[in-house]
Structure 1
Amino acid sequence: MNWIISANSKMYDHSSAFEHYGFIDWKQGLTKYSTGDIVYIYCTSPIKMIQYKCIIEKTDIDYSQIQDDKKYWNDLSEYEKSQTGKYARLKLIEQVSNNQMRLDNLKQNGLNAAPQGPIKIKNDKLLKYIETYFTDNYQTDYFPEIVGESTVEYEGAKKTVIVNKYERSSKARENAIKHHGLNCKICGLNFKELYGEIGIDFIHIHHLVPIHEIAENYRIDFKKDLIPVCPNCHAMLHRKINGKEPTIDELKLMMNRITLPNNVQK
Structure 2
Amino acid sequence: MNWIISANSKMYDHSSSFEHYGSIDWRQGNAKFLLGDMVYIYCTRPLMMIQYKCKIDRVNLDSTQIRDDKQYWIDKDEYYKSLNGKFMTLRLIEQVSNEQMRFENLKKYGLKAAPQGPIRIKNERLLNHIETYFTDNYQIDFFPDILKEDQIEYEGAKKLVLVNRYERSSKARENAIRYHGLNCKVCDLNFKKVYGKIGEGFIHIHHLIPINEIGESYKIDFENDLIPVCPNCHAMLHRKLNGKEPTVYELKQILKKKNT
- Cα RMSD between the aligned structures? 1.8
In the alignment, is the contact (CA less than 8 A) between 2:144 and 2:204 conserved in 1?
no
User: Which residue is equivalent to 1:72?
Assistant: 72
Q: Does the C-alpha gap of structure 1 residues 148 and 54 become closer, same or farther in structure 2, counting only changes over 3 Å?
A: same
User: Which residue is equivalent to 2:15?
Assistant: 15
TM-score, with structure 2 as normaliser: 0.92
Alpha-carbon distance between aligned partners in 2 of 1:143 and 1:84, rounded to the nearest angstrom: 42
In the alignment, is the contact (CA less than 8 A) between 1:22 and 1:92 conserved in 2?
yes
Same amino acid, percent of matched pairs: 69
- Report how far residue 10 of structure 1 moved: 0.7
Q: State whether structure 2 residue 161 is matched by structure 1 residue 161.
A: yes
In the alignment, is the contact (CA less than 8 A) between 1:176 and 1:223 conserved in 2?
yes
User: Which residue is equivalent to 1:262?
Assistant: none
- Report how far residue 211 of structure 1 moved: 2.4
- Report how far residue 27 of structure 1 moved: 0.8
SS at match of 1:20: helix
SS at match of 1:256: helix
Q: Does the C-alpha gap of structure 1 residues 86 and 199 become closer, same or farther in structure 2, counting only changes over 3 Å?
A: same
SS at match of 2:126: helix
User: Which residue is equivalent to 1:263?
Assistant: none
- Report how far residue 187 of structure 1 moved: 1.1
User: Which residue is equivalent to 2:178?
Assistant: 178
Q: Does the C-alpha gap of structure 1 residues 243 and 39 become closer, same or farther in structure 2, counting only changes over 3 Å?
A: farther
Alpha-carbon distance between aligned partners in 2 of 1:227 and 1:100, rounded to the nearest angstrom: 25
Q: Does the C-alpha gap of structure 1 residues 229 and 162 become closer, same or farther in structure 2, counting only changes over 3 Å?
A: same
In the alignment, is the contact (CA less than 8 A) between 1:145 and 1:164 conserved in 2?
no
Q: Does the C-alpha gap of structure 1 residues 232 and 176 become closer, same or farther in structure 2, counting only changes over 3 Å?
A: same
What do the CA deviations read for 1:76-99 (whole angstroms, capped 9, x no partner)?
Answer: 111101112221111111111222
The correspondence of residues 53-68 of structure 1 with structure 2, limited to 5 A, is 53-68=53-68
SS at match of 1:137: helix
User: Which residue is equivalent to 1:111?
Assistant: 111
Alpha-carbon distance between aligned partners in 2 of 1:241 and 1:37, rounded to the nearest angstrom: 53
The correspondence of residues 133-152 of structure 1 with structure 2, limited to 5 A, is 133-152=133-152
SS at match of 2:9: coil
List alignment gaps of at least 5 residues for structure 2.
none
- Report how far residue 156 of structure 1 moved: 4.5
SS at match of 2:227: strand
User: Which residue is equivalent to 1:261?
Assistant: none
Alpha-carbon distance between aligned partners in 1 of 2:253 and 2:246, rounded to the nearest angstrom: 10
User: Which residue is equivalent to 2:97?
Assistant: 97
1:209 alignment partner AA: I
Alpha-carbon distance between aligned partners in 1 of 2:64 and 2:214, rounded to the nearest angstrom: 35
Alpha-carbon distance between aligned partners in 1 of 2:246 and 2:28, rounded to the nearest angstrom: 49
User: Which residue is equivalent to 2:255?
Assistant: 255
Alpha-carbon distance between aligned partners in 2 of 1:143 and 1:25, rounded to the nearest angstrom: 32
1:83 alignment partner AA: L
Alpha-carbon distance between aligned partners in 2 of 1:37 and 1:240, rounded to the nearest angstrom: 50
The correspondence of residues 45-56 of structure 1 with structure 2, limited to 5 A, is 45-56=45-56
Figure out how many residues of one structure are paired with residues of the other and give that number.
258
- Report how far residue 52 of structure 1 moved: 0.6
1:73 alignment partner AA: W
Alpha-carbon distance between aligned partners in 2 of 1:165 and 1:237, rounded to the nearest angstrom: 21
- Report how far residue 242 of structure 1 moved: 5.0
Q: State whether structure 2 residue 48 is matched by structure 1 residue 36.
A: no
TM-score, with structure 1 as normaliser: 0.90
SS at match of 1:168: coil
With 216-225 and 75-84 compared, the bigger mean Cα shift is at: 216-225
Alpha-carbon distance between aligned partners in 2 of 1:254 and 1:228, rounded to the nearest angstrom: 18
User: Which residue is equivalent to 2:211?
Assistant: 211
Alpha-carbon distance between aligned partners in 2 of 1:213 and 1:146, rounded to the nearest angstrom: 12
SS at match of 2:55: strand
Alpha-carbon distance between aligned partners in 1 of 2:223 and 2:146, rounded to the nearest angstrom: 24
Alpha-carbon distance between aligned partners in 1 of 2:195 and 2:211, rounded to the nearest angstrom: 32
Q: State whether structure 2 residue 191 is matched by structure 1 residue 191.
A: yes
Alpha-carbon distance between aligned partners in 1 of 2:156 and 2:90, rounded to the nearest angstrom: 46
SS at match of 2:54: strand
Alpha-carbon distance between aligned partners in 2 of 1:255 and 1:164, rounded to the nearest angstrom: 31
What do the CA deviations read for 1:217-244 (whole angstroms, capped 9, x no partner)?
Answer: 4333322222110011112222334553
